[in-house]
Structure 1
Amino acid sequence: MAVTDPSAPTIPSAPRDALGDQVEPEAPREQANRRWNEILQETRVAQTGVQILFGFLLSVAFTPGFKDLGTIDRTIYVVTVVLGAAATGSLIAPVSIHRFLSGQRMKDELVETAHRLMMFGMVLLALTIGSTLLLILRVVLPGLIAEFLVAGVMLYFALCWYALPLWLRRRSTRDDAA
């Protein structure tokens, strides 16, 4: 175990990017532009997924088997479609906001608002995926198997999409403080 000399001068650590690589300090405008570009890339991925899922959901009501769904499954379907619509709106909203605010010198507000919409949209997307899975599995599997499988998938989403990033952020903050 290495022993450090407490009287040795401390050298402030250089700023690091999300992957831990040292980077030069950014001007506030550069940081806002970088964060906006990151949000755009993330939005492209999420928008594509939610739009495909939403399109699938809209087509389900026009299939021959839809009329055979019971009240509970129809309710799950309606909730799923509403969640999908809300997720679509939340994940596409940053594009609309950008169009309205372009040239208004409001990049910081735009980035913060887009960040919040993306976070909320991802929650809605996870709920949409979970309820879609529930609807499909209730039709395919007997008993409560569907509910247990969906609970497992939703737990997995919560771990991958929320707990893991928060744990990594906390660990990074702890490492930077050390």
Structure 2
Amino acid sequence: MTTDQGGSETRTGRNETDEERLDRKWDDLLQELRVMQTSAQLTAGFLLTLPFQTAFADLNKFQEGLYLGLVVLASLIIALVMTPVAVHRHLSGEHVKERVVATGHRIVRTVVGALSLLILGIVTLIFDVVIDRTIALVVAGCMGLILIGLLVVLPLRLTRD
């Protein structure tokens, strides 16, 4: 039995000390951040190449604003992904691993939400440029429902089962 963040006892199914559990959770967080970092960097790289395309000059004000918002969002995501590592480096040896892991967990949840917004924004921009705004909004709405299903509903359902 261990005590979770809310103070209640939980079964971990593992024979590990609290320190080992925190180390495992931290390693899990770092692996998740690696996956998200790659996604964010590839997306940011894609966005950064767009202004160098000849068709970029044809974007309307909405598309330009959406594009610039996506660049800022991608940059924010990269900064968020770096934050837990910076916090860990700064606080290493301070005996606050539980707080570092809890903070890392919150940041990972924020990154997942921000990546979802980035995906929706990119879908909207591409469909708006290629087809039209109405189709772009419909496709983005459908993608939003899919993301909610995969990233919110599925995990909640798995915790109930």
Find the partner of 1:75 among 55, 61, 65. 65
2:42 equivalent to 1:52? yes
Within 1, Cα distance between the matches of 2:133 and 2:122? Answer: 17
Within 1, Cα distance between the matches of 2:14 and 2:68? Answer: 50
2:138 equivalent to 1:148? yes
Find the partner of 1:15 among 8, 11, 14. 11
Report the CA distance between 1:62 and its aligned residue: 2.2
Render the CA deviation track for 1:98-145: whole Å, top value 9, x for unaligned: 111222222111101111111001111110111011111111113511
2:117 equivalent to 1:117? no
Radius of gyration: which is bigger?
1
Answer whether contact 2:127 2:133 (CA < 8 A) is retained: no
Unmatched segments (≥5 aa) in structure 2: 1-9
Identity of aligned residues (%): 34
Whose helix proportion is higher, 1 or 2?
A: 2
The alignment's C-alpha RMSD in Å is 1.6
Q: What is the aligned partner in structure 1 of residue 53 from structure 2?
A: 63
Residue type of the partner of 2:11? P
Q: What is the aligned partner in structure 1 of residue 87 from structure 2?
A: 97
Alignment partner of 1:144: what SS? helix
Answer whether contact 1:86 1:121 (CA < 8 A) is retained: no
Answer whether contact 1:54 1:84 (CA < 8 A) is retained: yes
Matches within 5 A, 1:22-33: 23-33=13-23
TM-score, normalised with respect to structure 2: 0.88
TM-score, normalised with respect to structure 1: 0.80
Q: What is the aligned partner in structure 2 of residue 6 from structure 1?
A: none
Within 1, Cα distance between the matches of 2:90 and 2:14? Answer: 32
Find the partner of 1:160 among 144, 150, 153. 150
Report the CA distance between 1:84 and its aligned residue: 1.1
Report the CA distance between 1:25 and its aligned residue: 4.3
Within 1, Cα distance between the matches of 2:66 and 2:38? Answer: 23
Answer whether contact 1:54 1:81 (CA < 8 A) is retained: yes
Q: What is the aligned partner in structure 2 of residue 138 from structure 1?
A: 128
